[in-house]
Structure 1
Amino acid sequence: MEDERGGAVPDRATFARTLGTLKREGSNVLLVGAAASTHETVCQQLLGAGERDSRYRLFVTNADDRVACDRTADAETDRVRTIDYSRSGLETDVDSDGENGRPSLGTLGIEIVETIDELADAADEFDPSELRVCVDSLVPLLREYDTETVFRLLHLTTSRVDQARGMGHYHLPLASDHDAVNLLEPMFDAVVTVRSRDGTDEQQWHLREEDATTDWLEL
């Protein structure tokens, strides 16, 4: 049986095994779809909310334009860090008139890596999936910077998450066939499309390595 992308539809056992591998080896997931409330639900699941308090969590957020994590990102502890790139005082690029302009994404990338390094030191080495990273959302970055610059930032971030055997997810609240989704999805292990249909929140996983897409699954 094939899905609408032309790939196979995995059965539940295959899907469960693949998710287990992503948890053990590290993974990065792109969350797409315009249903903001559903982004929040999936976000909490991927953060491991309610599972155990020993996880380390990093939120990279624009407080002025986010779709999830409103309730979670406020608590700053030795296990939870937040980088608000809208207000963090990052170094800025210099524009053609010699004035400071937008925050530098190179500086943001360094701050993300250094923060993960600090959490890794606190953990004395992460267990698989012990680190959870949420980037909410990519839309302001794509609005303000060229795609190549955002691509480099994501490459740096996803590589560090993989190295830590962590689980990162990245909110992109756009339709699954949007140009930005098509451009960025090769960087991710899976693309999860979320929707709300007849009052029910649902998700659909596309596993890129297997070229397989699940049926719509109720959250």
Structure 2
Amino acid sequence: MEARSRGERADGALFAQTLESLKQEGANILLVGPGAKAAHERVCCRLLGELSDQPRYRLIVTASETTYRGHSCTAAETGPETNVFKIDPPADGQSAGSTDSAVLAAENRCETETKETHLTHTPEVSLSVLGSAVFDAVTEIEAGSDGLEPAELRVCVDSLVPFLSDYQTETVFRFLHMTTASVKQVSGMGHFHLPLDADHDAVNLLEPLFDATVEVRIRDGGYEQRWYLRDSNGPSEWIEL
């Protein structure tokens, strides 16, 4: 993402036009803002397309102790399939190097078919394993759908904080590059939770990989968002969620 002034405002018409283009061309969004769990959840729900009556394929990457939502698709009544990649800590007594494989289990959630893949979190299970699993899942979804429509695939990664804590920055960057490219290849919509301040070093480092950054906050008991779009002169106004 090109450098932009956070003090200037994006033109409203251009902002709406750019958002529509993101849906048609595919996009990856960095979702930032600390201390606003409920706001993250609300934006996440919308970006997953759970409020739409259109069919969606969903791919979720989350940890055992989910940061911002349960990802149980409580509003997803139309999605034909949801795939969940859950990062688990090593079980008691399990060697850190005992596995680098994925075990597939299936369960029903909200009357949709959900495939849940568990990847044990160990130093030996690198993010490249997860990145490859995401790529394979996207490929499988596209093949099974006979070609995805723009924005039909929705991807959520919740959250990036554990990755930045447990892996080298370069490793996280490579994982994000692989994952965002997989989403864009099928004109999907991906969003990645990073609950830090918009001017945090980690945000500044990672946001060039994304088409937009969305900052959320809680203000006067309500939830708000503002968008920083690539190639725009500045952010949108604060928009009520």
| TM-score normalised by structure 1 residue count | 0.87
SS of residue paired to 1:210: coil
Q: CA deviation at 1:104?
A: 1.4
1:25-174 to 2 correspondence within 5 Å? 25-34=25-34, 35-72=36-73, 79-86=81-88, 90=119, 103-174=125-196
Match of 2:108 in 1: none
Q: Distance in 1 between matches of 2:118 and 2:50?
A: 29
Matched AA of 2:205: L
Give the direction of change, closer, same or farther, for the CA distance of 1:6–1:55 in structure 2 (3 Å limit): closer
- Which deviates more, 44-53 or 137-146? 44-53
> Counterpart amino acid of 1:80?
T
Q: Is the 8 A contact 2:88 2:121 kept in 1?
A: no
In structure 2, list runs of 5 or more residues that go unmatched: 90-116
Question: Alpha-carbon deviations, 1:22-45, whole Å to 9, x = none?
Answer: 000010000000111100000111
**Alpha-carbon separation, structure 2, partners of 1:41 and 1:21:** 22
Q: How far did residue 210 of structure 1 move? A: 2.1
Quote the offset at 1:208 in angstroms: 1.9
Range that drifts further, 80-89 or 203-212: 80-89
Q: Which runs of 5+ in 1 are unaligned?
A: 96-102
CA distance in 2, matches of 1:72, 1:10: 33
Residue 13 of structure 1 aligns to which amino acid in structure 2?
Answer: A
Q: Which amino acid aligns with 2:15?
A: F
Moved more, 201-210 or 86-95: 86-95
Q: Distance in 1 between matches of 2:25 and 2:150?
A: 7
- Whether contact under 8 Å (1:43, 1:69) holds in the other structure is no
Displaced runs of 4+ in structure 1, greater than 6 A?
91-95
Number of aligned residue pairs: 208
Letter matched to residue 190 of structure 1: A
1:121 deviates by: 1.1
Identify if the C-alpha distance between structure 1 residues 164 and 149 changes in structure 2 by more than 3 Å, giving closer, same or farther.
Answer: same
Partners of 2:67 and 2:238 in 1: how far apart?
25
Q: 1:46 and 1:157, CA in 2 relative to 1: closer, same or farther beyond 3 A?
A: same
| Cα distance in 2 between the residues matched to 1:78 and 1:126 | 12
Look up the match of 1:100: none
- 1:167-199 Cα deviation digits (max 9, x unpaired): 000000111111111110111010000000110
CA root-mean-square deviation: 2.3
Query: What SS does the corresponding residue of 1:125 show, helix, strand or coil?
Result: coil
Note the alpha carbon deviations across 1:63-89, whole angstroms, 9 max, x for none. Answer: 21421344428x8x8521100122655
Secondary structure in structure 1 of the residue aligned to 2:88: coil
Q: Does 1:187 align with 2:209?
A: yes
Q: SS of the counterpart of 1:213?
A: coil
Aligned mates of 1:192, 1:140 — CA distance in 2 = 20
CA contact (8 A) 1:85 1:108 kept: no
Q: How far is the alpha carbon of 1:12 from its aligned partner?
A: 2.3
Q: Judge conservation of contact 1:91–1:107 (CA < 8 Å) in 2.
A: no
Quote the residue 1:21 is aligned against: 21
